[in-house]
Structure 1
Amino acid sequence: MRSESEIDVLVLGGAGVDTIVRVPELPLPFADSHLVPAIETRAGQTGDFTAVALHALGLRTHHLDVLGDDHEGDLVRALHRDRGIPLTEVPLPGGTRRAVNLVGPDGRRCSLYDGSRSQEVDELPPDTVRALAGVSHHVHVSLTRPCAASLPVLSELGVTVSTDLHDWDGVNPYHEPFALASDLVFLSAAALADPERTMRRITERGRARTVVATDGARGAYHLVDGELRHVPPVAPPTPVVDSNGAGDAFAAGYLFGRLTGEEPHRCALFGAVAGAYACTVPATRTDSIGRTELLAAAAESTG
């Protein structure tokens, strides 16, 4: 990594809180009421999960996002403070982003996002983005509205950029600026009729040379310099309890490999190991695999 960088990965956006509701099954059958286990609210949305995962792998990580002056914001601030992850926050008048996650017995989840907390005018201050990105080796951009205005700023700086498009269907225009402005693109294959076609369109139209489409227990698709390969799944070390944060963990594991000079196939293995581990962490916790455990599991997977 560049010796002049003070930050290995700057994470933009994606801070918030989730309220976890464990339900008997998904889809949840209609009923006037359901009796469920304890309902808990904890800090941790996509940017938080990615920052925690990167930090756990020993990368110097900094998180920049908008936060409200509210209880939810306090939870996010406490998460970063307790983990020792630097957080630069910008006031968000509408309040900290929040969501309700319905989690089934098999670990699948359905997220209900509160769209009232963000407005089209919300953005990260360009000068703050320039200052932090200018001393960062890499920037990972969350798929949230305040980050969209930062994409041209990052392009001007010439810093490498990654993003996660989550369950993009390959058509929704909201996702395209993020996809086309990134050097490395992660996404889920869940909503894609033809993952390879979407992945190749991203490389044809944008600057990315690497695209990774995760596909749950089936592994992932890995497109590097025009060559598509399948990434085999890695068996979770303990039973699967929740898939929340698995994609963020995969991205963090992949970035760890990329920033430490590993070959693409090795980066993908790191991502698969980290993602599998994340599926064993209960939804009410925000824990990630450490560097030692990741390297040991990767070595075991390659035999």
Structure 2
Amino acid sequence: MSRDIDVLVLGGAGVDTIVYVPELPLPYADSYHIDSGIRTRAGQTGDFMALGLAALGLSTHHLDLVGDDPEGDLVRALHREHGIALTDVPQPAGTKRAVNLVGPDGRRLSLYDTSRARPGDRLPEDTVRALAERSRHVHVCITQPCADALPLLRETGVGVSTDLHDWDGENPYHEAFAYGADIVFLSAAALTDPEAVMRRVAARGRARIVVATAGAEGAYLLADGDVTHVPAVAPPAPVVDSNGAGDAFAAAFLHGLLAGETPERCARFGAIAGAHACTIPSTEASAITRDELLARAAEADPAPSRP
């Protein structure tokens, strides 16, 4: 069968309501006046992954449970606008949604509505298999019920990546993803010893590459048994919002991987794309293009150093 899809993205379709607040944590008050407005737009982790991959020129297909509701309409419209194929499986509980509080320094606090999922939810196995067999790679979001698709993906032999986001290294929910993917991304924000967690992921699971992003401190790359530090990249404009930076990093890394680049070069691509994402307000759906990525990578490409 022809591999006409570069990357299949499983899960992570939803809608965020963005509120820019004067500070985080937000002190208690009876009310706040939000002069910048309160905006609701499509775009959770899977949407941003798909958007980032498509902007980099990769043929992308997104599969998830989506409700027949106004939020679902926003998700479907986002994919139509950017020419991204979407297979939306009906979700009677409704489309995933969240409220993101964003501080002046770009940090965010997300409030996820867990009522829009049910214990028995599943992605149709026939649909997952058919799309996976057409794909060069599958990126699995940690949203429910994507963990149940991992054994089936292994049967197809397709390469799998995942993003554990701010995993603390202990929460058992993340373990199926951490130990079931070939490429594992995570944030170092909740880790006291990122290298120890990265090595544990590689030792206990299937991962041949583990990347821990650390914001302004850059990222850490575990590949071929060695951990190297990947320097941060200066953003091309003022930082306004960190929302979507991790997804941008992962999308650019996978772009490099599928192009045959070394893990170090892939991580450099990720750092560039993540820095770019921090200059885009959460209220917008935009991603770095392939030409922009390659141009910035050509400007400076220092080799990673030992931490």
TM-score range, shorter chain: over 0.9
Distance 1:232 1:280 in 2: 18
Say if 2:26 is the partner of 1:14.
no
- SS class of match (2:173): coil
Q: Distance in 2 between matches of 1:131 and 1:217?
A: 40
Q: How does 1:38-53 map to 2 (within 5 A)?
A: 38-53=37-52
The 5-angstrom pairing of residues 194-209 of structure 1 reads 194-209=193-208
Query: Residues of 1 paired with 2:15 and 2:146: CA distance?
Result: 18
Distance 1:220 1:199 in 2: 12
Counterpart CA distance in 1 for 2:282 and 2:144 is 25
Partner of 1:27: 25
Q: Does residue 1:166 correspond to 2:165, yes or no?
A: yes
Secondary structure of 2:95's counterpart equals coil
In structure 2, what is the Cα distance between the partners aligned to 1:175 and 1:301? Answer: 35
CA contact (8 A) 1:221 1:228 kept: yes
> What's the secondary structure of 1:175's corresponding residue?
helix
Shift of the alpha carbon at 1:119? 1.3
Q: Distance in 1 between matches of 2:237 and 2:43?
A: 22
Equivalent position amino acid for 1:249 in 2: A
SS at match of 1:196: helix
Taking structure 1 as the reference length, what is the TM-score of the superposition?
Answer: 0.98
> 1:58 offset after TM fit, Å?
0.1
Q: Tell me how many residue pairs correspond in the alignment.
A: 301
Unaligned stretches of 5+ in structure 2?
A: 303-307
Structure 2 SS opposite 1:32:
coil
Mapped pair 1:302 → 2:283: no
What corresponds to 1:116 in structure 2? Answer: 115
* Unaligned runs of at least 5 residues, structure 1: none
- Normalising by structure 2, what TM-score? 0.97
Percent of matched pairs sharing the same residue: 70
| RMSD over aligned Cα atoms | 0.9
Q: Give SS of 1:178's match.
A: helix
SS at match of 1:111: strand
CA shift for structure 1 position 123: 1.3
Confirm or deny: 8 A CA contact 1:234 1:301 kept in the other structure.
Answer: no
Amino acid at match of 1:202: V
1:123–1:148 CA contact under 8 A, matched in 2: no
1:96-148, CA deviations, whole angstroms, 9 ceiling, x for partnerless residues? 00000000011110000001001121111010000000010000000011211
Moved >4 Å (runs of 4+): none
- C-alpha distance in structure 1 between counterparts of 2:250 and 2:126, whole Å: 27
Shift of 1:302: 2.0
Tell me how far apart the structure 2 counterparts of residues 83 and 271 of structure 1 sit (CA, whole Å): 21
Structure 2 counterpart of 1:93: 92
Q: Counterpart in 2 of 1:70?
A: 69
What residue number does 1:186 align with?
185
Whether the aligned pair in 2 keeps the contact of 1:107 and 1:240 (CA below 8 Å) is: yes
SS, match of residue 31 in structure 1 = coil
Q: C-alpha distance in 1, partners of 2:106/2:251?
A: 20
